[in-house]
Amino acid sequence: MHILVTGASGFVGSRLVEVLTVKDGVQVTGAIRRQPAGGNKAVTQINVGELSPETNWSEALSGVDEVVHTAARVHVMNDVESDPLAVFRKVNVEGTLNLARQAVAAGVTRFIFISSIKVNGEGTVSGRPYTADDVPSPADPYGVSKMEAEAGLRDIAASTGLEVVVIRPVLVYGPGVKANFLNVMRLLDKGIPLPFGAIYNKRSLVALDNLVDLVITATVHPSAANQIFLVSDGEDLSTTQLLRRIAEALNKKALLLPVPSALLSFGAALLGKKSLSQRLVGSLQVDIEKTRSLLSWVPPISVEQGLKLAASHYIKRDK
Average pLDDT across the chain, whole number: 93
Question: What interhelical angle do 303-313 and 179-189 show, nearest 10?
Answer: 80
Structure confidence at residue 39 (pLDDT): 59
Task: Select which of 130, 142, 173, 314 is catalytic.
Answer: 142
| From 124-138, 173-187, 221-235, 259-273, the region with the lowest mean pLDDT | 259-273
- Cβ 243 vs Cβ 184: under 8 Å: yes
Answer yes or no: 130 catalytic. Answer: no
Assign 265 a pLDDT band (cuts: 50, 70, 90).
confident
For 233-253, what is each residue's pLDDT tens digit? 999 999 999 999 999 999 999
Task: List CB contacts of 281: < 8 A, sequence separation 6 or more.
Answer: 199, 201, 239, 261, 264, 265, 268
Structure confidence at residue 271 (pLDDT): 74
Average pLDDT over residues 42-54: 90
Structure confidence at residue 40 (pLDDT): 64
Helices (H), 42-178: 58-61, 84-88, 96-105, 141-160
pTM: 0.94
- At residue 57, does pLDDT exceed 80? yes
- Cβ 162 vs Cβ 107: under 8 Å: no
Distance CA 148, CA 89 (A): 8
Higher pLDDT, 266 or 289: 289
Average pLDDT over residues 256-282: 83
- At residue 77, does pLDDT exceed 60? no
For 98-148, what is each residue's pLDDT tens digit? 999 999 999 999 999 999 999 999 999 988 999 999 999 999 999 999 999
